[in-house]
Structure 1
Amino acid sequence: MSQHLPPAVLLMGPTASGKTACALSLAKHLPIEIISVDSALVFRDMDIGTAKPSAEEQGVCPHHLIDILSPEEAYSAARFREDALTLMAQITARGRIPVLAGGTMLYYKALREGLSELPQADEAVRAGIDARARTHGWPALHAELARLDPSAAASLNPNDAQRIQRALEIVSLTGRSLAENYAQREMRPPPFRFIGVALDAADRSVLHARIAQRFDAMLDAGFVDELRRLRERYVLDVSMPSMRSVGYRQAWAYLDGEVDAATFREMGIAATRQLAKRQITWQRKFLSQWPDLTPVDCLDPNLPGTVSDTVRRQLDDPLPPALDS
């Protein structure tokens, strides 16, 4: 039955794995529109530190969910799912194929599996958590979570402020563990036949080298100046979701004089590598659960062509050539 549903391509991978090049390659062969699956690309004026596709790249085919919010605002997995499903239906109605490309793995999970009915953010509860973190540090809050919900704490890094905050908030508001809350997820499979590609690195050291090279390129392109302009233009705080993006929170510490330039660079590269590790862990779980997801080595010298061939083989019927923009 799924073979009769309209196709949608999922193109996921860790940072610096080549997702943008692969998506643009697909546009040469198929009538596609790209939906960004990236929690940082939604923010305007955050271009360098997010490795946002250039205006020229975005001109190759229509792109969606890029530059839709001020850095002062927040975006969620629930909103992504709603926005993505609406866009996927619109793209399909235009006779094109939606390609969801990016590295925010929680968004892919939300899209495919639905979301639990979790409580909305409670500013008072969050303020109390943040106050305790400022006094005692996030490892102490992680220990607090371990007493309340050992399973949730075991899955989180003691310095992962954003996730520790949200976990404590949910447990405090519901009186239930995260596992109990997530078990209430409503399963509503989207009306699409997914064709998935998961980019991975057979040699992790090469991916690490790419990450370092890309971070240095961001610095050369004026990443620090970009953040300086953002702080002048918007009313920002380091705790905001936009400023929690990898690279930006480390640059914030540098601008505040908390670390020197060399330490900032080391912190930024290390944080990006940690992000890639988490993304790969998510992907491997997806590969064990989603039969329509195909692994592809991102170090393949003909990566865009390999991804394009992988996707085209899985499409049922011959499709017309890509439509002119």
Structure 2
Amino acid sequence: MNKTALKPKIILIGGPTAVGKSALAVKLAQQFNGEVINGDAYQIYRGMDIGTAKVTPTEMDGVPHHLIDIVDPGTPFTAAQFQTRAGTVIQALVAQGKLPIVVGGTGFYLNALAKGLPLGVAATTSARQRWEAELAAHGEDWLHDQLAARDPAAAAKIPAANSRRVVRALEVIEQTGQLFSAQSPPTEPYQPLVIGLTTDRALLYRRIEQRVDQMMQQGLLQEVAGLLETVSPDAQAFKAIGYKELVPVLQEQAPLAPAVALIKQHSRNYAKRQLTYFRNQMPTNWFDLLQTPTALEAIDQLVASFIKGEQNGLAR
């Protein structure tokens, strides 16, 4: 018997911000008897609604969503925790005959889930904090050089921009005395179909800037101010774009207008990194629903074929 056929089928929807991932997830869930699992690293946090563009109850349109608002913003949350909790939800949905649809722009979360990447080595707080301090002092490229000196194979696979993963690799090397790249190869637990949404770069950047303006109008500054009443500005949650830039404003250390411009710049840069990650790390089927709305029909056909076993989930 083909062991792959026994693995649960899941849909992964990724890509940069502001291209319609959440809306597509809802449509596919309605059409294919599915439920949505959040794959965004910051939508897990309660109270971080505007800045993360968290899907609203109206936008959910009756489709159950999982792993949203599950952690207080002062609490750290790791990719390993996401992998475990998402896996539990997937098992429950499959047992109910539902199609799990994981959606989000945090490429590493989606990749770790789909490939079963080994993330289970316990963190050593002192080692992690030391490497994070080195990152703050010297920057991403320097930190990546440290990994390259210790484990060239791992450095070749982990981009410098994924600083959290670089820190994790250095931490594991220090803790175990073994190369991070020498960890046991992962056992892929699912049959994934990866759908990526993208669009023309100029259009994407315009949409990002419009979204930031809309967030500010919706009260993003007030949302950040409310979080600061109970959450330390050093918390992991405040590393999110749209939040970290406004903390100095609320602390009267920076003016508002340049901070908003910085949110737009960081969002554009992040969108570029998101596209790079999905293109380099995951076999993705790309579509542009913004400029070609009729591509939704092709997505429907792809998902239907995947469910029937006529499409193996690999990118075309």
> Which structure exhibits the higher relative contact order, with contacts defined as CA atoms closer than 8 Å and separated by 6 or more residues?
1
Q: Distance in 2 between matches of 1:161 and 1:148?
A: 11
Contact 2:79/2:119, CA 8 A, preserved across alignment: no
3-state secondary structure, aligned to 2:291: coil
Amino acid at match of 1:95: G
Structure 1 residues 221 and 173: CA distance shift in structure 2, 3 A: same
What displacement does 1:49 show? Answer: 0.4
Q: Distance in 2 between matches of 1:284 and 1:127?
A: 31
Q: 2:52 aligns with which of 50, 60, 63?
A: 50
What displacement does 1:25 show? Answer: 1.4
Q: Could you give the per-residue CA deviations for residues 67-118 of structure 1, whole angstroms, max 9, x where no partner exists?
A: 0000011221111111112111111111211111111111122112223356
Contact 1:23/1:101, CA 8 A, preserved across alignment: yes
Structure 1 residues 194 and 164: CA distance shift in structure 2, 3 A: closer
What displacement does 1:312 show? Answer: 2.4
What displacement does 1:165 show? Answer: 4.6
In structure 2, the partner of 1:195 is 193
Q: 1:315 aligns with which of 307, 311, 314?
A: 307
Contact 2:50/2:220, CA 8 A, preserved across alignment: yes
What displacement does 1:268 show? Answer: 0.5
Contact 2:246/2:256, CA 8 A, preserved across alignment: no
Structure 1 residues 185 and 104: CA distance shift in structure 2, 3 A: farther
Amino acid at match of 1:314: F
Structure 1 residues 171 and 62: CA distance shift in structure 2, 3 A: same
Task: Describe how 1:129-148 pairs up with structure 2 within 5 A.
Answer: 129=131, 137-139=137-139, 142-143=141-142, 146-147=145-146
Task: Describe how 1:1-325 pairs up with structure 2 within 5 A.
Answer: 1=2, 2-3=4-5, 5-116=7-118, 119-129=121-131, 137-139=137-139, 142-143=141-142, 146-147=145-146, 149-150=148-149, 151=152, 152=155, 155-157=159-161, 162=164, 165-166=167-168, 168-174=170-176, 180-190=179-189, 192-201=190-199, 203-232=200-229, 234-238=230-234, 240-287=235-282, 290=283, 293-302=284-293, 304-316=296-308
Unaligned runs of 5+ in 1: 318-325
Unaligned runs of 5+ in 2: 310-316
Q: Could you give the per-residue CA deviations for residues 172-214 of structure 1, whole angstroms, max 9, x where no partner exists?
A: 44455xxx30331442221x4322211122x211111111111
Contact 2:245/2:259, CA 8 A, preserved across alignment: yes
Structure 1 residues 7 and 144: CA distance shift in structure 2, 3 A: closer
3-state secondary structure, aligned to 1:73: coil
What displacement does 1:162 show? Answer: 4.5
Contact 2:289/2:296, CA 8 A, preserved across alignment: no
Contact 2:29/2:99, CA 8 A, preserved across alignment: no
What displacement does 1:129 show? Answer: 4.5
Q: Distance in 2 between matches of 1:42 and 1:3?
A: 31
3-state secondary structure, aligned to 2:245: helix
Q: Distance in 1 between matches of 2:109 and 2:16?
A: 14
Percent of residue pairs identical: 31
Q: Distance in 2 between matches of 1:316 and 1:145?
A: 43
Contact 2:80/2:119, CA 8 A, preserved across alignment: no
Query: Which has the higher mean CA deviation after the structures are superposed, 74-83 or 205-214?
Result: 74-83
Q: Distance in 1 between matches of 2:113 and 2:135?
A: 32
3-state secondary structure, aligned to 2:41: coil
Contact 2:22/2:103, CA 8 A, preserved across alignment: yes
